[in-house]
Amino acid sequence: MAATRRTPTARGRRTLLPPASGSAGQVVTLLRARGPLTRADLGAALGLSRATVSATVAHLMQAGWVDEQPATVGVTVRGRPPTQLLLTKQAGLAVGVDLGRSHARVVLAHLGHEVLAERVLDMDETWRVADALEAVDRLVDEVVTAAGVNRDRIVGVGLGLPAPLDMSGHSTSTTIPPDWVRDDPARAFAERLGVSVVADNDANLGALAEARWGAGRGSTTLVYVKASTGIGAGLVLHGHVFRGSTGTAGEIGHVTLDEDGLVCRCGSRGCLEVMVGGRALIAQVAHHHAGIGTVPELIAAAKTGDLACIRVLADAGATLGAALAAVLNVLNPDRVVLGGELGAAGELVLASLRDRLGRHALASAVSSTTVVDGELGERAEALGAVLLVLTEAERFVPTSATARAVRRSE
C-alpha cells in the first residue's frame, strides 16, 4: 500500500499546550505533567490562593476540560475526603509509540494519565521507515477505534527509538542505531500522522515510565536498564530524564568489558551488548537447544529447570553487575530497575547481578541501592513515550484552537 500523508489542517498540528500565563494555563499544564491532584496540591505547587484555585477549577470544569474523582491515596483527614482533579478526554489524547528492532507498540491515553487502548505488532527485523509508517498509522486507527474517540483529538506523539538521540530527535551516533533511524523517522511520522512527534531513546522512555508508574515510584535517582536485543540505560534524576550533552548518557551497552572480545556494531570489542545482548544469550545455548530462538523462550526454559539456560541467565546477571558497579559508584542511585526482555527473568538474573555489585561497587553505594525488576514489562517504553507528551509539553507547538479554548475557560 502506498504511503499517504495526513496533512495538518489550517489550525496547525494537533497539540495541547495552554498559554504560558494565566491560572487556567498553569493548572492544565500541571495536571498534564503530574496527573490527578487535589485542589490543595495545585495551590501549593503553583503558589495560588485557595480562592483562585477554586475559581479556576470551576471554569475549567464548566468548559469540560477538568473532572474530579475521589482521592483514594494518602487521605488521612477526617470528614469528607478531598477529591482529585484530572484532565478529561476533551483536553486531548496522547499517543506513545515504541519502535523496536522487531516490533511496533502503540498506546493511547488521555491527558488525565489514563491508558485507553494499546496494540502491538511483530515486525521483520529488516523493516524500513516506510513499513513502520504504515504499521503505526494502522495501529493508531485501531487504538482510536477501540477507545471510541476521535483521532483529531490527538495532541502529540512520543516516539521511542533504539538509538541515542539529541533534543531535536536526531541520532548522535553513526554506528549504534539501525540504518532507518538516520532517516529522521520523527519527521516522517509527523508528516504521515499530521501531528507533532517528538522522539527519544527507548531506554530513557522506559526509565521515565518506571519512575512515574512502575517500580521506580518514589525514587530520586533511578537507573533503568533495558536488556533486550541491545543493552541501554535510562537515568531519571529527581523526576527528570538525564540525557547528557548530546543524548548518549546511559549507553552502557557499549562499555568495554573484554578488550579481546567480539567486535561490537559500535566498532569496539568486548562491549556489554555482545556479551549479554539477546543474540549473544541465544548463541550460548544454540548448540544443544536449537528450538530456543528468543530471550523469552530462554527464560521459559530456565523457569522449567533447564540447567544450561539457568546458567546463561545467571552469567548474564553477573556481567550486567560488573558493568553497573561503575554506574553505582559514579551516580549513587537509590534504585536500579531491570527492564526489557531480560527483566522477565526476575531472580534468575537479579541474584547474580546483586552479588556482582556487592563485589565491585562501593559498599555504601550498594547498601543504598535497591535492585528490582520492572513492573511495566514490555510496555514500559511505549508508556514512557506517552509520558513524554504529557510531561514535556514545551516540546510541542500549541494550536490556536487549543489556546482559544483555554482562554475561554479563564
Strand, helix or coil for residue 260: coil
Do 295 and 253 touch, CB atoms closer than 8 A?
no
Q: Name the class of domain 217-375.
A: alpha beta
- Digit-coded pLDDT (tens) for 103-132: 899 999 999 999 999 999 988 777 777 888
pLDDT at 8: 38
Distance CA 46, CA 232 (A): 36
Provide the residue ranges of all domains of the chain, joining segments of one domain with +: 92-205+383-394, 217-375
Low-confidence ranges of the chain (pLDDT < 50): 1-5, 7-20, 75, 397-410
pLDDT at 171: 66
The pTM of this model reads: 0.84
pLDDT at 402: 38
pLDDT at 257: 93
Residues across the chain: 410
Give the count of beta carbons closer than 10 Å to the beta carbon of residue 181. 22
Do 235 and 251 touch, CB atoms closer than 8 A?
no
Identify which of 240, 91, 105, 85 has the alpha carbon closest to the alpha carbon of residue 156.
91
Do 388 and 96 touch, CB atoms closer than 8 A?
yes
Residue 333 corresponds to which cell in the numbers above?
542511585
pLDDT at 82: 80
Identify which of 217, 92, 230, 218 has the alpha carbon closest to the alpha carbon of residue 160.
230
- Digit-coded pLDDT (tens) for 144-196: 999 999 999 999 999 998 877 776 666 666 555 566 666 677 888 999 999 99
pLDDT at 400: 36
Superfamily of domain 92-205+383-394: ATPase, nucleotide binding domain (3.30.420.40)
Per the listing, cell 498559554 goes with: 19
